[in-house]
Amino acid sequence: MSRIAGTFEALARNQEAAYIPYVCAGDPDKDFTVDLVSGLCSSGADLIELGLPFSDPVGDGPAIQEAMGRALSNGFEVKHIFDVIKRLRAKGLTQPIVVMSYFNPILRYDIGRFCEDAARAGADGILVVDLPLEESGELDGHARANGLDVIRLVAPTTSAQRMERILASASGFVYAVSASGVTGAKRAMPESAATLLRDLRARTKVPVILGFGISSPAHVEEAVRKGASGVVEGSALVDIYAGSLHDRQRAIDHAARHARTMKNATGTGADQNLSGDDGSHTKQA
């Protein structure tokens, strides 16, 4: 069983959903990332989505674009994300880590080498936001050969036929995009999110995680009530710490307090089936 599958099984036993913060690696530097992730995990984060900075993040809104810009301007390179993961594991962090990336940096680094280095560092999964299913065969092969779950994205615009193909190769969890467009905090969950969650839960036992626009405990509660096994929060969290980067400890404390309130909201709707082990991997926790 993969570390990701084990985490979702444990959450289901405790009648909780997952809180998954997105952190841009290297924003503004590696040391801050390690301290921030450690603080988030100590405050209840169940998994970590660790973003690889990229110069053209077309799927992301202003907050994450600016975070990636800060990281890149301070010299962050692809190889540095593996150093961050190694340092987190050395500090005793046990939560699963999913590397989120655009495809170009992986391709330039070398697909096989990237997957090997990610697994060796201690990563558990990989999410490539701009790689179509039809073109992901090589990456999938290398990822699974190294025990990495391949996280798939499904959007409200995904057809039923295509959804079935995506779900057939998904592992770890499925990332449900709440609405079309780029990342960014939103005031209310769009109706498209509820429809998508309903469709996905009817088609797969793999945990379904809702992302894009999540920014408050109320969003978490609503997502879980409507069938999500958890949520990913990115832009809102980045905004919380980015405003205090002149005082790093204060920035981490602010983010950690927010994470605690988000995690506390994950028990709502816990009578639903929140697990979904697909049993497709044997990597040990």
Residue 230 within a domain: yes
Strands 125-128 and 149-150: parallel
What are the tokens at 97? 């880590």
Phi, psi of 230 (to 5 degrees): 165, 180
- CATH number of the CATH domain containing 224: 3.20.20.70
pLDDT of residue 112: 98
Q: Which of 158, 148, 142 is nearest to 127 (CA)?
A: 148
Residue 27 in domain: yes
CA 150, 19, 11, 269: dihedral to nearest 10 degrees? -120
pTM: 0.91
What 3-state DSSP class applies to 176? strand
Q: Is 60 domain-assigned? A: yes
Catalytic residues: 49, 60
164 three-state secondary structure: helix
Note the pLDDT of residue 213. 85
Task: Give the chain's domain count.
Answer: 1
41 belongs to a structural domain = yes
- C-beta of residue 209 within 8 angstroms of C-beta of residue 231: yes
Q: Extract the tokens encoding 253.
A: 């404390």
Is 220 domain-assigned?
A: yes
3-class secondary-structure state, position 152: strand
Residue 274 in any domain: the answer is no
User: Where would I find the H helices in 122-227?
Assistant: 137-145, 160-168, 191-203, 217-225
Q: Walk along the chain (285 residues) and give the pLDDT tens digit of each residue.
A: 899 999 999 999 999 999 999 999 999 999 999 999 999 999 999 999 999 999 999 888 899 999 999 999 999 999 999 999 999 999 999 999 999 999 999 999 999 999 999 999 999 999 999 999 999 999 999 999 999 999 999 999 999 999 999 999 999 999 999 865 445 444 566 678 899 999 999 999 999 999 988 999 999 999 999 999 999 999 999 999 998 999 999 999 999 999 999 999 998 544 443 444 433 333 322
CA atoms within 13 A on the CB side of 259: 30
Residue 280 included in any domain: no
Q: Residue 185: give the domain boundaries.
A: 3-267
